[in-house]
């Protein structure tokens, strides 16, 4: 009888995952206190992201095909449903450039060029590229690289808050971080490990959204065969495509995705890409 | 019988009390067993599988903000307790804090194109104070104003919730 009651008491504890009593309230209090600080940091991240996205739009120009831009946004948002950053409003922006490139600005801004889109053959390939950039956003890879270079958003903003610096100096600090971010996105690139992680995440994200994860692999394989690939910002700032193909293949095999019948969405992609090319379509 | 109940209560108290005194995490967890990590689902929904693979059978589904207890994480999957058994959830849909609200972030960070251009201009004017500026920062503000306006248009161009619902309802083929 005693053993039975002991077992029942133990099982009831296992079945009661919610914290109990006063210590639990304090845990929530601590979490809430942290949340306020974290939200301030996320706001700074979004502010930096908007600045970087605006500068990329200045460089490449927005693509004047609203229906195609909306389609890219829809594919991206279907992937973002499984993102670990629900606090961010994700924006997927189409840039008007023939150069194949895709960028992840902090705070939920993913930008992809018309040239990159035209080099793809189906929706699964587009999803793979967007998911790679989405992973950079979710894992704050750019922020980590700025941190490594000694320009941490959090550290600078925290310091400015403490010192009560003038608005002009705050704006100058943000402008500095924007320049550093653009240098990383357009010239030096993120560390190799960040790209490897983003490719592994991309496989998971596209599979969770129901797309064929080998789409990214197919697109990378085609890019590795291009002779003038070095001319593109994407190839300049990312590890060699053959290395990335290896990471994607490994992730597909490790996660039990090889040979699974997932969607490539060819018809919807062709309909969107080959649609009317004038404004007001 | 009374003695048995008293012994049970004492036994339960012995299990709970020392765990409650621990600083982190505050959980009623038996002494001696490894303390679990607490994860919160961040995605709209997530499937719990019986193994760390998409080919493993689905045990069930969990929704955003749901709390899961875990003892280990490996290969991009988190091993969790789910309905009295072991399950696996992709690590990318979990975080160790509850989901943050979206509204506060957007309100605090979003400026109008005019505000952004004005801020940028004041950053340029402040540049000499912090030493030699980068050549890129001397770009005419008119271009930048246009870029901020383009950003706002691009943000507005995104799909509406209705369009997104229709897109999600149409299965990719």
Q: Model confidence at B155, in pLDDT bands (50, 70, 90)? A: confident
Confidence at residue A219, expressed as pLDDT on a 0 to 100 scale: 93
Supply A79's token pair: 């992937």
Query: Regarding predicted confidence, which is higher, B165 or A11?
Result: B165
B34-59 pLDDT, tens per residue?
778 899 999 999 999 999 999 999 99
B chain contacts of residue A45, beta-carbon cutoff 8 Å? 109
* Residue A30 domain-assigned (yes or no): no
SS3 content of chain B, % helix, strand, coil (to 5): 45, 20, 35
Residues B112 and B139 in one domain: yes
Cβ neighbours of A137 (radius 10 Å): 25
Tokens of A16: 């009661």
Angle at A233 between CA A231 and CA A238, to 5 degrees: 110
Cβ contact (<8 Å) for B20 and A21?
yes
- Closest residue in chain A to residue B93, using alpha carbons only: A84
B-chain residues near A41 (CB < 8 A)? none
Q: In 10 A of CB A10, how many CB atoms? A: 15
Provide mean pLDDT across the span A222-250.
80
ipTM: 0.75
- Percent of chain B, pLDDT > 90? 28
Range of the domain at A136: 43-273
Instruction: Among A183-187, A242-246, B141-145, name the one with the lowest average pLDDT.
Output: B141-145
- Give a yes or no: residue A161 inside a domain: yes
Q: Is the pLDDT of residue B102 over 50?
A: yes
Nearest to A49 by CA among A174, A234, A155: A174
- Residues B95 and B59 occupy one common structural domain: yes
- Predicted local confidence at residue A200, as pLDDT: 95
> Do B98 and A38 make contact, defined as CB atoms within 8 angstroms?
no
pTM value is 0.78
Q: Put residue A210 in one of left, alpha, beta given phi > 0 → left and psi -120 to 50 → alpha.
A: left
Report the chain B residue with the minimal C-alpha distance to residue A95: B154
Same domain? For B20 and B53 the reply is no
What is the tens place of the pLDDT at every residue in A146-196?
A: 988 875 545 555 545 545 556 667 778 888 899 999 999 999 999 999 999
- Chain A residues whose beta carbon lies within 8 Å of the beta carbon of residue B93: 82, 84, 208
pLDDT recorded at residue A11:
52
Which of these ranges, A36-40, A111-115, A217-221, B138-142, has the smallest mean pLDDT?
Answer: B138-142
Specify the number of domains making up chain A. 1
| Residue B7 tokens, joined | 């012994």
Neighboring chain A residues of B16 at a CB cutoff of 8 Å = 13, 20
Among residues B71, B99, B127, the one where a domain terminates is B99
Higher pLDDT, A15 or B48: B48
Chain A residues near residue B148 by CB distance under 8 angstroms: 54
pLDDT of A221 > 80? The answer is yes
Distance of CA A135 to the CA centre of its chain: 4
- At residue A254, the pLDDT reads 93
Strand order in the sheet with A91-95: A91-95, A109-113, A102-105
CA–CA min distance A217, chain B (Å): 18
| Alpha-carbon distances, residue A246 vs A2, A47, A179, B37 (angstroms) | 58, 35, 32, 32
Mean pLDDT of all residues belonging to chain A: 80
Contacts 24+ apart (CB under 8 A), B11-20: B11/A6, B11/A9, B12/A6, B12/A9, B12/A10, B12/A13, B15/A9, B15/A10, B15/A13, B16/A13, B16/A20, B20/A20, B20/A21, B20/A23
Cis bond upstream, residue A199 (ω within 30):
no
pLDDT average, residue stretch A130-147: 93
Would you say residue A52 lies in a domain? yes
Mean local confidence (pLDDT), B1-7: 58
Structural domain includes residue A6: no
Q: Which of B13, B106, B4, B90 lies closest to B52, judged by CA?
A: B90
**Residue B139 lies in domain:** 103-169
* pLDDT of residue A64 exceeding 60: yes
The answer to whether residues B17 and B54 belong to one domain is no
Q: Is residue A14 part of a domain?
A: no
Q: Quick one: pLDDT at residue A21? A: 34
A33 versus A217: the higher-pLDDT residue is: A217
Average pLDDT over residues B12-23: 43
Task: Verify that B94 and B107 share a domain, yes or no.
Answer: no
On whether both B71 and B124 belong to a single domain, the answer is: no
Contacts of A112 (CB under 8 A, 6+ apart): A72, A92, A93, A94, A95, A101, A102, A103, A126, A129, A130, A133
Q: Does residue B107 share a domain with residue B71?
A: no
How many Å lie between the alpha carbon of A93 and the closest alpha carbon of chain B?
6
Tell me how far the alpha carbon of residue A243 is from its chain's centroid.
Answer: 20
How far, in Å, CA of A28 to CA of A125, rounded? Answer: 42
Residue A109 pLDDT > 90, yes or no? Answer: yes
Whether residues B120 and B155 fall in one domain: yes
Inspect the interface and report whether the beta carbons of B157 and A70 lie closer than 8 Å: yes
Q: How many whole angstroms separate alpha carbon A24 and alpha carbon A34?
A: 15
Average pLDDT of the segment spanning A226-238: 69
From B68, B99, B130, give the residue that closes a domain. Answer: B99
Counted domains in chain B: 3
Q: What whole-number distance in Å separates Cα of residue B159 and Cα of residue A124?
A: 19
Confidence of residue B8 (pLDDT cuts 50, 70, 90): low
Of B44, B67, B99, which residue sits at a domain end?
B99
Question: Do residues A241 and A224 make contact, with C-beta atoms less than 8 angstroms apart?
Answer: yes
Residue A177 domain flag: yes
């Amino acid at each position: 009888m005693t053993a039975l009651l002991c077992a029942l008491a133990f099982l009831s504890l296992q079945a009661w995952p919610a914290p109990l009593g006063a210590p639990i309230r304090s845990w929530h209090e601590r979490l809430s206190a942290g949340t306020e600080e974290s939200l301030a940091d996320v706001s700074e991240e979004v502010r930096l992201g908007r600045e970087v996205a605006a500068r990329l739009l200045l460089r490449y120009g927005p693509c004047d095909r609203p229906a195609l831009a909306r389609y890219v946004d829809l594919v991206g948002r279907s992937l973002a449903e499984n993102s670990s950053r629900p606090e961010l409003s994700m924006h997927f922006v189409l840039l008007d450039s023939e150069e194949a490139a895709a960028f992840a600005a902090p705070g939920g801004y993913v930008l992809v060029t018309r040239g990159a889109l035209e080099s793809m053959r189906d929706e699964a390939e587009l999803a793979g590229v967007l998911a790679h950039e989405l992973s950079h956003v979710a894992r704050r890879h750019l922020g980590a690289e700025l941190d490594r270079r000694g320009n941490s958003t959090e550290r600078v903003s925290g310091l400015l808050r403490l010192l009560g610096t003038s608005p002009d100096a705050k704006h100058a600090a943000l402008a500095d971080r924007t320049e550093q971010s653009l240098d990383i996105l357009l010239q030096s690139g993120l560390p190799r490990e960040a790209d490897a992680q983003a490719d592994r995440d991309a496989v998971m994200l596209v599979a969770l959204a129901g797309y064929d994860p080998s789409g990214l692999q197919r697109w990378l394989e085609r890019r590795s065969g291009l002779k003038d690939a070095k001319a593109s910002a994407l190839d300049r700032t990312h590890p060699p495509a053959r290395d990335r193909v290896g990471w994607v293949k490994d992730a597909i095999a490790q996660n039990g995705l090889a040979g699974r019948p997932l969607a490539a969405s060819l018809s919807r992609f062709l309909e969107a890409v080959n649609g009317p090319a004038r404004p007001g379509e | 019988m009374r003695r048995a109940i008293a012994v049970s209560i004492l036994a339960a108290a012995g299990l709970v009390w020392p765990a409650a005194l621990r600083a982190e995490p505050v959980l009623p967890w038996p002494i001696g067993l490894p303390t679990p990590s607490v994860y919160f689902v961040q995605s709209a929904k997530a499937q719990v599988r019986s193994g760390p693979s998409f080919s493993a059978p689905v045990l069930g589904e969990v929704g955003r903000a749901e709390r899961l207890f875990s003892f280990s994480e490996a290969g991009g999957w988190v091993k969790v307790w789910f309905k009295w058994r072991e399950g696996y959830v992709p690590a990318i849909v979990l975080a160790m804090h509850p989901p943050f609200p979206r509204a506060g972030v957007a309100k605090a960070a979003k400026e109008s194109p005019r505000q952004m251009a004005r801020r940028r201009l004041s950053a340029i004017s402040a540049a000499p104070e912090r030493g030699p500026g980068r050549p890129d920062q001397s770009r005419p503000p008119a271009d930048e104003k246009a870029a901020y306006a383009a950003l706002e248009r691009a943000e507005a161009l995104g799909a509406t919730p209705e369009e997104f619902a229709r897109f999600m309802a149409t299965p990719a083929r």
